[in-house]
Amino acid sequence: MGRILAAESIGKRFGRRWVLESAGLWATPGRVSVLLGRNGSGKTTILRIAIGRLRPSYGIVIFAGERLDRPRLPDLAVRGLFYLPSDRFLCDRYSVREHLAALAHRFPAAAVDDALEMLRLAPFLDRRPPTLSGGEARRAEVALALARQPRCLLADEPFTGLMPTDVELLAEAFRRLAAAGCGLVLTGHEVRPLLAAADDVYWMTAGTTHLLGSPADARGHRQFQREYLCGREHGRS
Amino acid sequence: MTFPDRRFTRAILARAFLIWLAIRTALVFLGMLPRAAGAAEALSPVAVLWLIAVCTVLTLFDLRRTGEELFLANLGVRVRTLTLLAVGPALMLELLVDVVVL
C-alpha cells in the first residue's frame, strides 16, 4: 500500500547547525511507524516540517500522493491528517467536552462516543485542562485524534511522563487507528511501549533517518543497540 | 472559509474586543487621547490603522500562546480566518467610535 505521508530528503539548518540532512518521515496506511532518536536529533523538527509549521532548507513533502511545496496544517487536516504535539494540545479555557464539540462541529462524522468510551474520559468531560493530570490530558488529546478518525496521525512523544495503564490505553487507541487504516508516526524515548506498538522502526541519528525494520530487527541492530539502547535489550517480554 | 464552532468564535471575538479596549484605555491614560468627547479626532486614520493592526497581532499572538491556533489548525481552520476574527472587533469598534463621536 502506498504511503499517505512522505517527507523526503529533508534538510534543515538552524543558524550554522544542520539539524537534518537528507532525513525522511513516512506514514503508511494501517501501520504504526516509530521514530526513535536522541534528544535534539530532529524528531520534532521533521514532524513540524511535515505539517508545515517549519520550512525545510530543502526537501519535499508528499501527502496522499500530492507534492506540497508549502504544506499547511489546516489544509492537511481537512484531508485527514491529525497532529499531536509533544507539549500541551488542549486549550486551557475550554473543557474536554467543548474541545470534542468543536471537533464534532467541524467533522460531523467524528466518532466521539467511541473515543470517550475507549479512553475512559466520561468523568473528565466537563473539566478544563489545568485541572487534569498529565495522563488525563493526554488521554483527552488522543481521544480527539481517535474521534477524528484521521488518515494519518503524527504524535510527538505521546507516552512521555505517563503511567503504565495510560500508556497501555493509548497504545490500544493507536492500534485501533492503525487497524482502521490510519498511518501513524509516533516518536519518543519509551522504547518498550513504542516497540510494542510499532510495525516499522526508524532511527534518527546524525541528522538522517534509518529504517531499522520491524521491532525485532531494531532490537537486533548492533549500532542502534550500542548508541541508542546503550547495549540493553528493550521490549522483550 | 472555515470558522470554528460558536464557543471558540465567541471567545476569540471577546478577546479581540478586550485587547482593543485595553489599548484604547491605555492610550487615554497615557494622555495620548483627550478624555472628553472628540477622542476619535485625536487619532489620525493612519494611527487607527496601526491600532487595528496591533490589536490583530496581539490577538493572534494570544491564540498561538494558548494553543488555540494549533488546535483549530487541526480542525482545518486557517490563520487567515483567525485573522478575520481578530481584526473584526477592532475595525467595527473604531468605525463605531468614529460614527458616534463625530
Please give the single-letter amino acid code of residue A67. Answer: R
Taking CA atoms, B78 is separated from A19, A78, B49, in Å, by 28, 11, 23
pLDDT reported for residue B102: 63
**A145: closest CA of chain B, how far (Å):** 9
Tell whether A112 is covered by a domain.
no
Q: Which of B5, B66, B76 is facing A101, going by the closest CB pair? A: B5
Continuous segment of H or E residues that includes residue B69: helix B68-74
What is the arrangement of strands in the sheet containing A58-63, beginning at the earlier edge strand?
A17-27, A5-14, A58-63, A66-68
Q: Is residue A227 part of a domain?
A: yes
SS3 sequence, chain A? CCCCEEEEEEEEEECCEEEEEEEEEEECCCCEEEEEECCCCCHHHHHHHHCCCCCCCEEEEEECCEEECCCCHHHHHHCCEEEECCCCCCCCCCCHHHHHHHHHHHCCCCCHHHHHHHCCCHHHCCCCHHHCCHHHHHHHHHHHHHHHCCCEEEECCCCCCCCHHHHHHHHHHHHHHHHCCCEEEEEECCHHHHHHHCCEEEEEECCEEEEEECHHHHHCCHHHHHHCCCCCCCCCC
A118-134 mean pLDDT? 95
Range A145-155 average pLDDT: 97
**pLDDT value at residue A228:** 82
Residue A184 falls within a domain, yes or no? yes
Chain B residue numbers touching A93 (CB-CB < 8 A): 11, 66
pLDDT at res. A52: 96
- The predicted-structure confidence for B26-68, as pLDDT tens digits, reads as follows 888 877 666 555 555 567 888 899 999 999 999 999 999 999 9
Residue B32 or A211, more confident: A211
- B63-73 burial, b for 16+ CB within 10 Å, e for fewer? beebbbbbbbb
Statement: residue A85 has pLDDT above 50: yes
C-alpha cell at A212: 531499522
Question: What ipTM does the predicted assembly reach?
Answer: 0.92
Q: Work out the end-to-end distance of chain A between its first and last CA atoms, rounded to an integer number of angstroms.
A: 30
Maximum pairwise Cα distance, chain A: 49
pLDDT over 90 (residue A124): yes
Contact A102 B74 (CB under 8 A): no
Within its chain, how far is the Cα of A85 from the centroid? 8
Helix (H, G, I), strand (E, B) or coil at B77: coil
The answer to whether B76 contacts A88, with C-beta atoms less than 8 Å apart, is no
Within a domain: residue A121? no
| Contact residues on chain B for A77, CB-CB shorter than 8 A | 73-76
Residue contact B5–A93, C-beta within 8 A: no
* Option in B8, B73, B79 nearest A77 (CB): B73
Q: Which residues of B touch A99 (CB under 8 A)?
A: 71
Cα–Cα dist B2/B5, whole Å: 9
What is the share, in percent, of chain A residues with pLDDT greater than 90? 87
B45 touches chain A (CB under 8 A): no
**For the segment A178-187, what is each residue's pLDDT rounded down to a tens digit?**
999 999 999 9
Query: B91 in helix, strand or coil?
Result: helix
Query: What is d(CA A235, CA A220) in angstroms, rounded to the nearest whole number?
Result: 12
CB contact under 8 A, B70 and A92: no
- What is the pLDDT at residue A2? 87
- In total, how many domains does chain A have? 1
CATH code of residue A24 = 3.40.50.300
Interface test with B, best of A51, A73, A148, A149 (most B CBs within 10 A): A73
Could you tell me which residues come within 8 angstroms of residue B92 by beta carbon, excluding any fewer than 6 positions away? none
DSSP B13: H
Closest Cβ–Cβ partner in B4, B66, B67 for A102: B4
Residue A165: give the domain boundaries: 5-90+153-234
> What residues of chain A lie within 8 A of the CB of B7, using their CB?
94, 98, 101-102
Quote the cell numbers at residue A36.
526513535
Q: Would residue A123 count as lying in a domain? A: no
Query: In which band, very low, low, confident or very high, does the pLDDT at A216 lie, cut at 50, 70 and 90?
Result: very high
Q: Where are the domains of chain B?
A: 6-101
What's the pLDDT at A231? 62
**Rounded-to-integer distance, Cα A53 and Cα A48, Å:** 5
Query: For position A47, what pLDDT does the model report?
Result: 97
For B31: left if phi > 0, alpha if psi spans -120 to 50, otherwise beta; the answer is: left
Nearest to A106 among B76, B78, B79 (CB): B76
Residue A130: exposure state from Cβ atoms within 10 A (0-12, 13-18, ≥19): exposed
Instruction: Tell me the C-alpha distance between A23 and B63, whole Å.
Output: 31
> Which residues of A are less than 8 Å from B9 in CB distance?
none
Contacts of B71 in chain A (CB under 8 A): 89-91, 99, 102
pLDDT of residue A237: 38
Q: Is residue A217 part of a domain?
A: yes
**pLDDT-derived band of residue B22, with 50, 70 and 90 as boundaries?**
very high
Q: What are A36-67's pLDDT values in tens digits?
A: 999 999 999 999 999 999 999 999 999 999 99
Q: Which set of grid coordinates corresponds to residue B86?
A: 481578530
Quick check: is A51 in a domain?
yes
State the cell numbers at A11.
534538510
A146 within some domain: no
pLDDT at B60: 97
Q: Which of A74, A75, A93 is facing B66, going by the closest CB pair?
A: A93
State whether B71 and A72 contact (CB < 8 Å): no
Cβ pairs A/B, distance under 8 A: 64
With CA atoms as reference, report the closest residue to A188 among A151, A217, A154, A160: A160
